[in-house]
Chains A and B, each alone.
Chain A
Amino acid sequence: MSWAVILALGTVITAGIYLALSRDLFRCLIGLALLGNGINLMLFTSGRLNSLSPPIIPAGDTVLGATANPLAQALVLTAIVISFAMLCFSLILAIRIVQENRSDDTIALREAEPHSNDPLKPIIEDEP
């Protein structure tokens, strides 16, 4: 069980980093989303994978037996919601950038920073 999770974790995080380093805008964002999901999986694993029974005290009993850790599940649920919201925002942002810039190449996107082939002295931007 642990080995399968470790393997999945490694694969998802590697794929995420590989895609996030891409020049292609959408690949980069999908990569970040994958990376986020890999780390969510890591958060889920941090509560240990030792039991499948839910953390409920049976009627008539007073102590909790060997059950799954509910805290890690609560944490990962929060993290999933947040990373989903971030993914939605980033995709809409990417669509607007592609519409305005007519390109999904991030190298071509240097509106807010000096370009690498600018002259040595910074150019004057006429729209402050």
Chain B
Amino acid sequence: MILAVAPLLVPLATALLCTVSYGSPRLQSRFSIAGALALLITAIILVIEVSSNHVVSLTAGNWPLPYGIEVVVDRLGVALTLIAALMLTISLLWQNSDADPAPTSGFFHPLIHGLVAGSCAAFITADLFNLYVWFEVALICALGLLAQGGGLKHFDATLKYFVLNLVGTLLLLAAIALTYAATGHLNFANLRLAVQQVDPAVMLPITGLLLIAFLVKAAAFPFFAWLPASYHTLPAPSLAVFSALLSKIGICALVRMLSGTFHPPSYLLMTLLAGIALLSMVIGVLGAAYHWDIRRILAFHSISQVGYMLLAIALSSRQGDAATIFFAVHHSLVKAGLFLCGALIFCMAGHYDLRRIGGLYAARPFLSVIFLLFALSLVGIPPLTGFWGKYLIIRECLIQGQYLWAGVALSVGGLTFYSMLKIWKEAFWKPHPDATWSPTKEKKLAPAYAGICTLLFVVLWLGLYPEPLLVFVNDAAMTIRGGIP
């Protein structure tokens, strides 16, 4: 039914309306917020629909498969769409505050809706070439948001983001060409059947190429260089959406490919993926330990967290997939929350570098508590969401007898704790280096606090009552593997 394509039609239509109303900022921001709320409502309706009806799908033009392009909204797609809608709403709310908003040039609203349209469509499409097209839509909008800053620093970040991501999409396109040549299908369901007929020795390099393309998108070791080169140049509302969505596009595609379409994956590739996952976890967290800029610390943490999700995929079991999806939901919410906390810290204390700030625990205890809850959730302290995510992954590692993997995952958690403590000690406990400093009062921060408290509420709720999400991700993993929950 038509509802299946709503997650991409709503933001695309909003982007169009925002482009048309370019000259009138008031009208544009109204269109924009209305579009975000409409997407949120669509996503909630889809969650209800998918929970009862298994999947919602639509084939373009009613062409029979494999001729039509198919969109299938399953539990994984709808969960990530809901997060995209929530983050978009919070980010647009944030745009009205004084905490590091994006430049008000009229480009922000169309581009961010375009980015969300590209990501949502990539989450729900069931056609490999269509997936490539939506990757490119998300990429070009992300480039626009990066270049919008207008300084040399922003252009440098845009260039690095552009070159590495373009190489990723070109590899994906090459893999698509090879897949089509080998199997004659691009639709996921048809591919799943066609792959069984092809010699595994032919499929191995093709799957490997696809894997590399998605690893570039997911910012895994050694393809992550675009992420720490670009994230810290973004204003807070764009950064929250970037950190919640962009690496998830790669993760979502990887889960669909390795557990669904190209199943069963080869043992060699999965062992390689586990190695990449462990290296991403360690290198990411070490990069975070080196830096002093809050946004750079958090950007490197993203790489480490992507490592956890990849490790869960490499376990190649239904429980592993469920853990990946749970972790992706957790990471989108918590990492965006931490980046937004960083923007509030910047707004109060005047700098993103930890050596130039301090004294916020005494001056702003409420913000301190918000940051602490997000930080402890990222580390994985029970009963917050990070604990459940890591618990699922480490339990599955131990069940499969991979003690080394479990050990690395646990010790990376310790290092994550170290860098969160660094932010806590430097920004909150230490007195401000400038003795005459006092937090500015006349700034408009109510929309920012409203946004971050909503996010914190969702994180606390999912942490204290994880049962519905755990059941949901288990069913999602079963759907991806072709079963019916």
Binding site for B on A (CB under 8 A): 20, 25, 28, 32, 35-36, 39-40, 42-43, 45-48, 71-72, 75, 78-79, 82, 85-86, 89-90, 93-94, 96-97, 100-101, 106, 109-113, 121-122, 124-125, 127-128
Contacts and interface: CB of A to CB of B under 8 A. Distances in A.
Residues of B in contact with A, size category: 35 or more
A110 B346 contact: no
B351 interface: yes
22 contacts: A20-B167, A25-B159, A32-B163, A35-B170, A39-B170, A39-B177, A46-B177, A72-B180, A75-B180, A86-B166, A89-B162, A93-B159, A93-B162, A97-B156, A100-B151, A100-B152, A101-B152, A111-B155, A112-B156, A112-B157, A122-B296, A125-B293
Nearest to B152: A100
B176 interface: yes
Contacts of B230: 112
Nearest to A90: B162
Nearest to A124: B353
A126 to B, nearest CB: 9
A86 B140 contact: yes
A128 to B, nearest CB: 5
B291 interface: yes
Contacts of B153: 111-112, 127
B437 interface: no
B173 A39 contact: yes
Interface of B: 129, 132-133, 136, 140, 143, 147, 151-160, 162-163, 166-167, 170, 173-174, 176-178, 180-181, 228-230, 232-233, 290-293, 296, 346, 351-353, 355-356
A45 B173 CA distance: 13
B171 to A, nearest CB: 8
Given A79-B173, A112-B232, A128 B346 contact: yes
A126 B230 CA distance: 17
A14 B140 CA distance: 26
Q: Top 9 A-B pairs ranked by shortest CB distance?
A: A46-B181, A111-B156, A43-B177, A46-B177, A112-B157, A111-B153, A100-B152, A112-B156, A128-B352
Nearest to B225: A113
Given A124-B353, A124-B356, A112 B346 contact: no
A93 B261 CA distance: 37
Contacts of B173: 36, 39-40, 43, 79
A90 B159 CA distance: 8
A82 B174 contact: no
B170 A128 contact: no
B152 A124 contact: no
Contacts of B158: 93
A85 B140 contact: yes
B338 to A, nearest CB: 17
Contacts of A90: 162, 166
A125 B353 contact: yes
Contacts of A106: 159
A88 to B, nearest CB: 11
A97 B155 contact: yes
Given A82-B133, A112-B153, A45 B143 contact: no
B351 A45 contact: no
A36 B169 CA distance: 9
A57 B346 CA distance: 66
A128 B351 contact: yes
A97 B232 CA distance: 18
A96 B155 contact: yes
B177 A42 contact: yes
A109 B159 CA distance: 10
